[in-house]
Chain A
């Protein structure tokens, strides 16, 4: 059956050639360049020298003593940044899920004609430049910003609370920026959900919590998966938010990579870091999806 069909359409795939070319050049091309750069030597004024070297990858994890090049120690600075990026992104995803679920539920349970308005309100922040939104957060949490001023005036605190340039600031900023990315897929999943199943759950003696756990959550799981991926991936590579709210002290992977391509003048190291980030994200995704698959298996069993 399939033979003649394929033969008959043998050349038709060529119609996809423009799209394939763009994909190849725009997506795989730069990635390939980065991969190649990570195995070259750094140039003195930035850029790369065409000379094979694993020094870039080596320096991701280790550092050499300035005076004794053979004295190798773990590069704690890089590992800290790695760990912080993963941990902050994980927390951001969790916060977005916890805040996003009730928000999406609220929207999905409104009458259909008002739902559009709520969705519209959720998407409004997307219309504003990310930088401006981040500076707005800064305005709220800086030492002489809104929160501290109000608390000082009320006499709740004597000296301003240091919120800027902490992990908290980065977390707050990222949760704020990425929340819509969790709400929208969750809403889409809830919109498709059959609310009569909720009634069926209540009818069969389930309490509200049990209905949430046994009926609603399994139904909106695809929304959670999509939302988590949409939040976690950009969070781990976030640049603007940690730069503005975290300063130099709470650097994340994105900032570290940018630093290597800028002041650091070590492009191979930057390229190796970028490749590693890709590996971390793909790895995290595989672990996440596997875990979900296992949960599903247990449910079935």
Chain B
């Protein structure tokens, strides 16, 4: 077995261009990706970044302009969606309105030419899996959005695909239902062991559900990695900004050495910041450093790394966001967990900030 056989999906050098000449739109540029069997893989990016196009290329609705796509070792070029071991959960669910819930779920099996008894058995298994047994004879128009969502899932899972593609399946649901479905999806993925490729623009959804995330922008994959890697070590400004909240600080370099640099903080103190691989900034120049809002703690004024003035405090329930101004005027957002015995600082108050070690990172330009 060579390395390429271990993965479920192999994408190599895939480009997708819509239109021609001057009006050509490069939806995907140089996508290389290997998705492992049984992985919960997420394509994350803002709308128009190409994540849905990539999903459609995997499903077979779009043919790539160039590059190769292999699923379970087999080349997929020229195969239509009906000849790929892949099923899709559509954003709009796309349930057949003229069929009952049970008929919808059984449709794929029927098209595969399975026997009536096998279709019935699998359909009732699927109905149980998504807890929809009671509504099997309803039409899609007679059930709620969340129920339609579960039917769409069951319909796509019924033929036992090797890969399940999910195109923003939760975006039409309200917050509470979305949370429920997130854990439901995770449960289904663990129970079935099917490879999930999940498309979303919701970074929180991506962080909580995925084994690995590919952050996309303008048709390219910017960063590929586990949620913690992407959150803690964003490779560039776009990823840092898109995933979670981030403070960007422009700071002069005081000293460099190996993988870290000492940066001069507003107020004169110095702090160590990790450098991205291969970057050695010149002492005296300025770099952009990032730090997450929860990775700084409030200490007594003049005792921490930084001194900041409180501009406003926004209450978020579990925590409070403090909007601060540093000594040189740069803004800084601090997230502090709420406790009943603590009052948020008044606007105008001066605070000391202590940065968690390793929290400050320099970004590539």
- Interface residue ranges, A against B (CB under 8 Å): 194, 196-197, 199-207, 210, 214-215, 218-219, 299-300
Chain A residues whose C-beta falls within 8 Å of the C-beta of B80 in the assembled complex? 202
Q: Does B335 contact A (CB under 8 A)?
A: no
Chain A residues whose C-beta falls within 8 Å of the C-beta of B92 in the assembled complex? 194, 196
Neighbour of A200 across the interface among B83, B86, B88, B100, CB < 8 A: B88
Distance (Å) between the CB of A220 and the closest chain B CB? 11
Chain A residues whose C-beta falls within 8 Å of the C-beta of B82 in the assembled complex? 202-207
Distance (Å) between the CB of B88 and the closest chain A CB? 5
CB neighbors of A among B40-95 (8 A): 59-61, 80-83, 86-88, 90, 92, 94-95
A-B contact pairs, 9 of them (CB 8 A): A196-B92, A197-B96, A203-B61, A203-B87, A205-B82, A207-B82, A214-B107, A215-B96, A218-B96
On whether the beta carbons of A203 and B96 are closer than 8 Å, the reply is no
On whether the beta carbons of B87 and A300 are closer than 8 Å, the reply is no
Chain A residues whose C-beta falls within 8 Å of the C-beta of B60 in the assembled complex? 202-203
On whether the beta carbons of B81 and A203 are closer than 8 Å, the reply is yes
Complexed CA–CA distance, A215 and B103 (Å): 12
Q: Does B252 contact A (CB under 8 A)?
A: no
On whether the beta carbons of A199 and B90 are closer than 8 Å, the reply is yes
Known contacts A196-B92, A202-B80, A299-B98; is-contact A210 B61 (Cβ 8 Å): no
Neighbour of B94 across the interface among A196, A205, A206, A300, CB < 8 A: A196
Distance (Å) between the CB of A206 and the closest chain B CB? 4
Chain A residues whose C-beta falls within 8 Å of the C-beta of B94 in the assembled complex? 194, 196-197, 199-200
Distance (Å) between the CB of B168 and the closest chain A CB? 13
Distance (Å) between the CB of B102 and the closest chain A CB? 11
Q: Which of B80, B86, B94, B155 has the most CB of A within 10 A?
A: B94
* A interface secondary structure, majority: helix
Complexed CA–CA distance, A255 and B263 (Å): 100
Complexed CA–CA distance, A205 and B88 (Å): 11
Chain B residues whose C-beta falls within 8 Å of the C-beta of A203 in the assembled complex? 59-61, 81-82, 86-88, 156
* Top 5 A-B residue pairs of the complex, sorted by shortest distance between their CB atoms: A204-B108, A200-B94, A205-B111, A218-B98, A202-B81
Complexed CA–CA distance, A214 and B106 (Å): 13
Complexed CA–CA distance, A200 and B100 (Å): 15
Q: Does B112 contact A (CB under 8 A)?
A: yes
On whether the beta carbons of B112 and A205 are closer than 8 Å, the reply is yes
Q: Does B159 contact A (CB under 8 A)?
A: yes
Q: How many A-B residue pairs have CB under 8 A?
A: 64
Chain B residues whose C-beta falls within 8 Å of the C-beta of A210 in the assembled complex? 111
Neighbour of B98 across the interface among A199, A206, A219, CB < 8 A: A219
Complexed CA–CA distance, A131 and B95 (Å): 48
On whether the beta carbons of B90 and A204 are closer than 8 Å, the reply is no
On whether the beta carbons of A200 and B111 are closer than 8 Å, the reply is no
The closest CB in chain A to the CB of B100 belongs to A300
Chain B residues whose C-beta falls within 8 Å of the C-beta of A206 in the assembled complex? 82, 107, 111
Q: Which of A204, A206, A219 has the most CB of B within 10 A?
A: A204
Chain B residues whose C-beta falls within 8 Å of the C-beta of A214 in the assembled complex? 96, 107, 111
Chain A residues whose C-beta falls within 8 Å of the C-beta of B159 in the assembled complex? 204-205
The closest CB in chain B to the CB of A200 belongs to B94
On whether the beta carbons of A200 and B96 are closer than 8 Å, the reply is yes
Chain B residues whose C-beta falls within 8 Å of the C-beta of A219 in the assembled complex? 97-98
Distance (Å) between the CB of A2 and the closest chain B CB? 27
Since A200-B94, A203-B86, A205-B112 are in contact, a sample of 11 more A-B pairs with Cβ atoms closer than 8 Å, ordered by chain A residue number, is A196-B90, A199-B90, A200-B95, A202-B60, A203-B81, A204-B87, A204-B155, A205-B83, A206-B82, A214-B111, A215-B96
Complexed CA–CA distance, A198 and B234 (Å): 40
Chain B residues whose C-beta falls within 8 Å of the C-beta of A200 in the assembled complex? 88, 90, 94-96
Chain B residues whose C-beta falls within 8 Å of the C-beta of A202 in the assembled complex? 60-61, 80-82
The closest CB in chain B to the CB of A204 belongs to B108
Complexed CA–CA distance, A194 and B97 (Å): 10
Complexed CA–CA distance, A204 and B97 (Å): 15
Chain A residues whose C-beta falls within 8 Å of the C-beta of B97 in the assembled complex? 197, 219
On whether the beta carbons of A199 and B61 are closer than 8 Å, the reply is yes
Complexed CA–CA distance, A194 and B59 (Å): 19
Distance (Å) between the CB of A119 and the closest chain B CB? 25
Complexed CA–CA distance, A299 and B103 (Å): 10
Chain A residues whose C-beta falls within 8 Å of the C-beta of B156 in the assembled complex? 203-204
Q: Which of B60, B86, B98, B159 has the most CB of A within 10 A?
A: B98
On whether the beta carbons of B107 and A204 are closer than 8 Å, the reply is yes
The closest CB in chain B to the CB of A210 belongs to B111
Chain A residues whose C-beta falls within 8 Å of the C-beta of B107 in the assembled complex? 201, 204, 206, 214
Distance (Å) between the CB of B337 and the closest chain A CB? 44
Distance (Å) between the CB of A270 and the closest chain B CB? 45
Chain B residues whose C-beta falls within 8 Å of the C-beta of A207 in the assembled complex? 82, 111
Distance (Å) between the CB of B166 and the closest chain A CB? 12
Complexed CA–CA distance, A207 and B245 (Å): 47
Complexed CA–CA distance, A210 and B83 (Å): 14
The closest CB in chain B to the CB of A219 belongs to B98
The closest CB in chain A to the CB of B158 belongs to A204
Complexed CA–CA distance, A251 and B30 (Å): 70
Complexed CA–CA distance, A203 and B62 (Å): 12
The closest CB in chain A to the CB of B59 belongs to A203
Complexed CA–CA distance, A256 and B97 (Å): 46
Complexed CA–CA distance, A196 and B88 (Å): 11
The closest CB in chain A to the CB of B84 belongs to A203
Complexed CA–CA distance, A265 and B100 (Å): 59
